[in-house]
Chains A and B, each alone.
Chain A
Amino acid sequence: MSETFKLSPFEIEEFTLANGLRVVLNPDNEIPVVSLAVYYNVGSRNERDDRTGFAHLFEHMMFQGSANVPKAGHFQYIMKAGGTMNGTTSSERTNYFETLPASQLPLALWLESDRMRSLAVTQENLDNQREAVKEEKRLRYDNQPYGQIFDLINEMIYKNFANSHSTIGSMEHLDAASVEDVQDFFRVYYAPNNAVLSLSGAFDIDEAKRLIEFYFGDISSQPLPSELDVSEPDEVALTFREWEDPLAPFPAFLIGWKIPKRRSHEFNALYLAGKILYDGDSSRLYQKLVKGDESVIQLFGFTDERRGPSSIFIGAIPKPEEDLSAIRETIMNEISDLATHGPTPSEMEKIENQLVNDAVRMRQSSMSRAQQLAEYALYDGDPKLINTDLDELLAISAEQIRMAVAHFLNTENRSLLSVVPAGQG
């Protein structure tokens, strides 16, 4: 790795409108496109216990029209201007974003401001989107082999309802959602002072400021919702569960651990430990299980980062005749080894190069930049973290990784979900 290599800092300007809307601007004229991201500080963690899935259903309603935009007009305005758009919901936030030719910046701001100001909700549109969301649930979860395992293990890892319940929700709760629920949710959570707007790409800063003030400046602020308690004890809610999956062709298992919040030293160290354990063909578990023992068809792992207690997962689909407990023992042995001896110098070099490579590639896309900026602004109150996040990760030492693995990847805060095929063959 070149010692002299240094990424140039992003040009970032941030300000807050009188109504509390936080704005982040990142001009970059390399390609004549512009990306807008609006992040609302509401996710499934804010849901009532009789309205699971509501934050996501609400996200769908944001495409169903507002005072000056007809139903589905949002899609159509963006697409006929040559843009792409979408929205997503997680436990932490709901985001809406679009990328357009640079000349269409006013359109993007108009569309986002119209729905922030004046979402129009009808019973008919709610019923229609309820059906679309149910089909999304069937498509992604209910009709997929292993499709429900991540929702199930979250219920095992977390004790606090805010953290444990699924983002897609239950069919019963989706059925129960009313137009009044949608209106209340909009008023409480979709206020300008509960959101961040970020813009990245080819635009003139002064023009962008003027347009943002024009479109968003007089949207009324609202009293902020009360602080949410997402705290968790260290131990998981349930350490073992067997799940009969009617669609799974093979047995499988998923292990999850409860770990500290995103951007803590411990979380960062465990994120890097994950790279060592399961990322890529040279990772330890790939070499042990897919190669070596040749016992596993598919191995995967990832971290789920949240503002509160977070999690890390390792899962495997073993070959049908294999002993699942032996595979789990191999995984735990490899974790013990990492907890005892720490990463090797060559593993640390790999992590360093991968982090730099990822950071450089992220910079290519105006949408990636806009989203990252919005996330730092919303979660940490500081979009400029985008200029130091790489250094933050590179500063994690081998010893910190070893200690985090030793402390957190043990059995007390571990949940094991065993998947048993239960189909008719």
Chain B
Amino acid sequence: MDQELRNSPPAPLAPVAFDISKPFETALDNGLRVVIVESKRLPIVSFRLSFHSGDIDDPQGNIGLTSAMTNLMTEGTDNYTSLQLAEKVERLGASLSANSSYDFTTVAASSLSFYASSMLDMMAEITLRPTFPENEVDLYRRNTVEHLKFQRSQPPFLAAEQAARAIYGDHPYARVSPTPADIEKITTAALKKFRQQRLIPNNAIFMVVGDVDRDEILGQIKERFGDWETGSKPEPVNVELPSANGSRCIVVDRSGSAQSNIVIANRATARLTADYFPILVMNQVLGAGASSRVFMNLREEKGYTYGAYTRLDLKRLAGDFEATAEVRNDVTGESLKEFFYELERIRTDLVGDEELADAKNFLTGVFPIRAETQEGLTNLLLNQKLYGLDEDYLQAYRSNVNAVTAEQVLDAAKKYVRPDEASIIIVGDAEAVVPAAAEYAPSVEIYDTEGSMRTDN
């Protein structure tokens, strides 16, 4: 009888509720929004100070300034040299960093909670009083130029560079990294001025999650950031996105490659879209995970690749759909064929009830797993605030997923998965892959690993 019971999957136990409580939110007089979540579970704390400006807001003629600024904020301030700063933070066993994405700039810190006030000191130091010393800026320039060369040895970078260009044209989203010439232009003076203009309280959110007392931590934030002067927000980026320009095929010739890195990409939509939940479910069916269609097809059935996936990268102003896999050279053509088969199928056939339910169950089930660690919870909350999602976004997330219908999935696929407009990017040995690629586009453009079009063909 035991044996029989073990022949099929067991029923689940009673479900256990999971809720994320809404955070406390207030604002300082200078406009700095402060969001606090008290969590006494473990003696740790996470801080984020995030700004609604990012790499796409780099000034004309000073591309790369935002990322240079974030990299150099920890390299010297009014009261600490680069070394003193690193020693102070690491001696507390803590972490402190600044980074930028296309849309946002974030100063992040985390530590044991009994060092919270020291970490707030250090966050204030690098945000309000960085000095961008000449020698550190010089070292940054030289190291970054070498790093840019290094990136060109890596297929994922080469594929991302071409995909972004194909999708975003002249828009700043087309830049996956600055050029060496951009880097040469970065100076101490430019960084100081830019820091003052961009890191302003009235364009920022200060988030605290962890073992803190709300009033006490709010008081400490006020002490350090209350006198911070307001400024004017950056002008919104005003560059036309290119209209869909038909299918292109771009091969980046990386001779001696053992694999082809394939990216099939088209423009999709911005993060704040009414279609968000249908898109999420659609992508789960199509390619987000190891039980999705493209993985089951290209890996589990065909053995062409270690992993095949699709993703939707929805940014503040625009977004893109990408299907990706790294395959052995001699199945490049077959892999394209299977990808296009799946991209067409999701656009033409209604997804079945079971497959739809499976995708939703995954998305709702992993939600508490994503919130299990403090960093995970912090990131969920920060994204909600940065994108200006609904107040009950995290609370309603699972019911919104569950409300998605098969018709909405089909509709989302038709709108955002566009094989007719997609560009195919292949990084690999051109000799090996061009013949296969040529079957999928009227012409094949060949680039070198420096990002330039080859003129000899």
Contact = CB atoms under 8 A, between A and B. Distances in A.
Interface of A: 2, 5, 30-33, 68, 71-72, 75-77, 79-84, 99-107, 110-111, 113-114, 127-136, 138-139, 142-145, 202, 207, 214-215, 218, 246-250, 280-282, 287, 290-291, 294, 297-298, 317, 319-320, 346, 349-350, 352-358, 360-361, 363-366, 423-424
B304 A138 contact: no
Contacts of A423: 255-256
A306 B7 CA distance: 38
Contact of B290 (A79, A207, A250, A424): A79
Nearest to A125: B300
A79 B153 contact: no
A364 B256 contact: no
B6 A114 contact: yes
Given A31-B372, A135-B304, A143-B258, A103 B13 contact: yes
Interface of B: 2, 5-18, 41-44, 74, 82-83, 86-87, 89-94, 111-112, 114, 139, 142-143, 146-147, 149-150, 152-155, 255-259, 289-291, 296, 299-306, 326-328, 357-358, 361-369, 371-374
Nearest to A214: B2
Contacts of B327: 135
Nearest to A248: B153
Given A135-B304, A361-B44, 6 more contacts: A82-B367, A104-B13, A106-B10, A107-B12, A110-B10, A297-B143
A356 B306 contact: no
Contacts of B154: 144-145
Given A80-B362, A84-B369, A291-B83, A102 B13 contact: yes
B372 A364 contact: yes
A327 B391 CA distance: 54
B326 A138 contact: yes
Contacts of A248: 153
Given A72-B291, A346-B91, A357-B94, A280 B86 contact: yes
A79 B13 contact: no
A83 B366 contact: yes
A246 B254 CA distance: 11
A361 B89 CA distance: 17
Nearest to A135: B306
A71 B296 CA distance: 10
A357 B112 contact: yes
B373 to A, nearest CB: 4
Contact of A360 (B5, B42, B289): B42
A196 B112 CA distance: 32
A61 to B, nearest CB: 13
17 contacts: A32-B16, A75-B289, A75-B291, A82-B365, A101-B16, A130-B303, A132-B299, A135-B328, A136-B306, A143-B259, A214-B2, A218-B2, A249-B150, A250-B149, A319-B146, A360-B43, A360-B44
A358 B93 CA distance: 8
**Across chains A and B, which 10 residue pairs bring their CB atoms closest together, nearest first?**
A82-B365, A353-B93, A131-B303, A32-B16, A80-B358, A357-B93, A281-B86, A106-B10, A282-B86, A136-B306
A356 B93 contact: yes
B41 to A, nearest CB: 6
A282 B83 contact: yes
A349 B363 CA distance: 43
Contacts of A317: 150
Contacts of B372: 31, 33, 364-366
Contact of B6 (A110, A202, A357): A110
B206 to A, nearest CB: 22
Contacts of A291: 82-83, 139
Contacts of B299: 132
Contact of B369 (A33, A138, A290, A361): A33
Contacts of B82: 281, 291
B407 to A, nearest CB: 21
Contact of A82 (B142, B326, B366): B366
Contacts of A287: 83
A83 B6 contact: no
A364 B373 contact: yes
Given A32-B18, A79-B291, A280 B326 contact: no
A143 B291 contact: no
A149 to B, nearest CB: 14
Contacts of A72: 291, 296, 300
Q: Which of B12, B114, B302, B326 has the most chain A CB within a 10 Å cutoff?
A: B12
B9 A77 contact: yes
A288 B289 CA distance: 43
A346 B87 contact: yes
Contacts of A294: 139, 142
Given A83-B366, A131-B304, A135-B305, A353 B326 contact: no
A299 to B, nearest CB: 12
A106 B358 contact: no
Nearest to B303: A131
B306 A104 contact: no
A82 B361 contact: yes
A2 B114 contact: yes
A81 B365 contact: yes
Contacts of A84: 366, 369
A421 B328 CA distance: 23
A128 B300 contact: yes
B43 A5 contact: yes
Given A80-B362, A282-B90, A291-B83, A106 B11 contact: yes
B83 A100 contact: no
Contact of A68 (B6, B258, B259, B367): B6
B290 A75 contact: yes
Contact of A32 (B93, B301, B368): B368
Contacts of A352: 93
A424 B6 CA distance: 58
A280 B364 CA distance: 37
B306 A246 contact: no
Q: Which of B90, B152, B374 has the most chain A CB within a 10 Å cutoff?
A: B90
A405 B255 CA distance: 43
Nearest to B138: A294
A236 B107 CA distance: 45
B139 A250 contact: no
A139 B369 CA distance: 28
Contact of A364 (B42, B296, B365): B42
Contacts of B364: 82
A33 B368 contact: yes
Contact of B18 (A31, A130, A320): A31
